[in-house]
Structure 1
């Protein structure tokens, strides 16, 4: 019988599955651990938010923690987890050394969510209208993020492209990396039968968290360059923009007279996407896998997106829509797919195949759990093989520890 694990998840924020792909991803990991009857404590230094999911309703203990505070040391010593999951590299930076010092035998896993250094390098190249340069990739953010990956026993990647990038460009050993995509339910025939039909759907939709820079950039691109051209040919069709945390700049793009509607947070994202005919997501930079495009497939809604948007998502399978990168190509693809029912139905089938062959949790969940158990069983050898990580951890503990202690002492004196 499999031993029960005691897991501590340290969140960058409290999970908001209705606000972001990262929140959805976190809930999928919690669900997977709970399927194996593992006991979970979720801790975060973030403030509570209005839209966070209350993890206590599903039997997860919720604990508020503080950065640069020794109370975390006594908390984790008492909890004594067998596994600690860091939500993104900035969380590992803050708490990784404390975990290693107080619970050295706990397996340390980091969920990268996306490679921040890749996303920021692409963002820089996009704004400067240049090709992605190697020096942009080897940034200070990359140094921090790669150091976190090396300090952990396992780092989770949601994109095969990023798995390859870490191994080829940054020379990270595959043994400390693990590809774990979004984990979703298989799409069954009964689900498909309940989807709205082509004729019952209307309008284009974009949905995304506006705290995430690629989403804001994509909406600007839509408003300024793409929507005016689509509207000339489809004058009665609307562009619906949904997303959590829209700034005043985002809300100012709301132009009902142009049928361009900025509607803020969706009360029910699934219903919004299910009733749209097409998800239009012209992302010009980004990384990881796009939750909005998985959601589109789960709702039977074809998408028009860019190479960046679709990157690493469909493998060798045909896309759930059309991939285009130039303005006119995106416009032509959107108009064609909106009007061509035969093509629309064909690419809808592609989406079902992508979800069922590349994201079904039955394909990945048990293998990941087994990988955790295998690494735990051979922890000492696993860490010997990652000696560079041990060196980094040694020096990080020395430097970060004393900086943190200094901040802690300073806070007490104030």
Structure 2
């Protein structure tokens, strides 16, 4: 039986973020193979985290900069180690390499943090993205982590292009792995609420994620007044996990702008809404809120950044508009016109079933992992850059980690 160790940045919270849902999708694929899975994390427990033990997964708390992890990994002796984001690979990768050098390393990128940060910087400066934005310290750290890993999971084809083109990462080191979902069948879609049984607009997203907070401010200041002018009785319900204390200041029910905070069950709220709004001005990866909208039969209006790499040229589940006036008008049209709304809903079904079908992606991912494991030594010989970066990380991070560990004892 293959032993898989997942080292999580946080414990999975599927109702808080797309990253949490994505992790559970990956776990589901690996469980189907009968793999023995251990999930370890240095994060504190959360009341919103999923119950891993109920799913037959061993849950282990680990410490940062502590040799107790060395003892744990040596005892566990995993065949595969999956690092949840590059920061976790930086922190624990050298320890895994030292204790279990033959364990295959897989990096779950979630999205490219360096691309998201570069776009945020360009947006705040009011300019187009430049190559220099993609060459900062964050990019150096993240791309180095990808090179050090035996395989990195990339959720977006746009990011595949960036990695192979700009950063010259070999195609044998990365694997396209989008969301992996059960297809929408007739039984699923028949349960959806009708056009007339839905009311109001919805915006949803984890507020710890900067693009989501920016989108809410954009809605409040620019887009929602334009929508409200044409639909004076409509409301926008804003949901999201971990809202900042200042978010309440945006709450203005008299103008239909309603801050709701964390959604108890995000899909239930999405299913009640007639239209989902996601005016994202920067970001990366695949947008979980827009996938969830399609799963719930809720048409959406988003931007080019929001829809990037999500629909492979298929008609969108609503509209894609970057101009705020056009965005607002598209939202009004979807809200008012039943035929347009139902057509958008059908488009969403096609996107889910053709792009995110788990049957098209799950086994391919497992086969890729198994193929690399069968010839791991040669795979690594063909990645000299990764070996070089791993060598230097082992030397530098090891001594820094040991210094912090010694310092913490006093």
Q: TM-score, normalised by structure 1?
A: 0.98
The equivalent residue for 1:187 is: 184
The equivalent residue for 1:244 is: 241
> Of residues 32, 44, 48 in structure 1, which corresponds to 2:45?
48
Alpha-carbon offset, residue 5 of structure 1: 1.1
The equivalent residue for 1:398 is: 395
The equivalent residue for 1:38 is: 35
The equivalent residue for 2:119 is: 122
Alpha-carbon offset, residue 251 of structure 1: 1.9
In 1, the alpha carbon distance for the partners of 2:351 and 2:21 equals: 18
Alpha-carbon offset, residue 57 of structure 1: 1.1
In 2, the alpha carbon distance for the partners of 1:366 and 1:303 equals: 30
Say yes or no: does 1:76 pair with 2:73.
yes
1:339-372 alpha-carbon deviations (Å, 9 max, x no partner): 1111111111110000000001011001111111
Alpha-carbon offset, residue 45 of structure 1: 0.4
Say yes or no: does 1:274 pair with 2:271.
yes
Matches within 5 A, 1:10-29: 10-29=7-26
The equivalent residue for 2:231 is: 234
Say yes or no: does 1:171 pair with 2:168.
yes
1:155-213 alpha-carbon deviations (Å, 9 max, x no partner): 00000000010000000001000000001110001111110011111110011000100
Q: Is the 8 A contact 1:216 1:250 kept in 2?
A: no
Say yes or no: does 1:137 pair with 2:142.
no
Alpha-carbon offset, residue 304 of structure 1: 0.1
Q: Secondary structure at the match of 1:196?
A: coil
- Structure 2 gaps of 5+ residues are none
In 2, the alpha carbon distance for the partners of 1:357 and 1:124 equals: 34
In 2, the alpha carbon distance for the partners of 1:298 and 1:139 equals: 37
The equivalent residue for 1:94 is: 91
Q: Is the 8 A contact 1:284 1:306 kept in 2?
A: yes
Q: Secondary structure at the match of 1:52?
A: coil
Q: Is the 8 A contact 1:28 1:182 kept in 2?
A: yes
1:41-70 alpha-carbon deviations (Å, 9 max, x no partner): 000001111211121111110100011100
Alpha-carbon offset, residue 380 of structure 1: 0.8
Alpha-carbon offset, residue 275 of structure 1: 1.1
Q: Secondary structure at the match of 1:252?
A: helix
Alpha-carbon offset, residue 223 of structure 1: 0.3
In 2, the alpha carbon distance for the partners of 1:139 and 1:258 equals: 42
Say yes or no: does 1:57 pair with 2:66.
no
In 1, the alpha carbon distance for the partners of 2:45 and 2:187 equals: 38
1:312-344 alpha-carbon deviations (Å, 9 max, x no partner): 000021111100001101111111111111111
The equivalent residue for 2:154 is: 157
The equivalent residue for 2:109 is: 112
Aligned positions, number: 410
The equivalent residue for 2:198 is: 201
> Of residues 122, 129, 144 in structure 2, which corresponds to 1:147?
144
Alpha-carbon offset, residue 134 of structure 1: 0.7
RMSD: 0.6
In 1, the alpha carbon distance for the partners of 2:203 and 2:253 equals: 16
Alpha-carbon offset, residue 252 of structure 1: 1.4
Q: Is the 8 A contact 1:11 1:91 kept in 2?
A: yes
Say yes or no: does 1:359 pair with 2:356.
yes
Q: Secondary structure at the match of 2:261?
A: coil
1:213-270 alpha-carbon deviations (Å, 9 max, x no partner): 0000000000000111110100001000000000012221111111111101111111
> Of residues 399, 407, 410 in structure 1, which corresponds to 2:407?
410
Q: Secondary structure at the match of 2:82?
A: strand
1:63-121 alpha-carbon deviations (Å, 9 max, x no partner): 00011100000100000000000000000000011011110010100000000000000
Q: Secondary structure at the match of 2:242?
A: coil
1:252-296 alpha-carbon deviations (Å, 9 max, x no partner): 111111111110111111111111000000000000000000000
In 2, the alpha carbon distance for the partners of 1:63 and 1:371 equals: 27
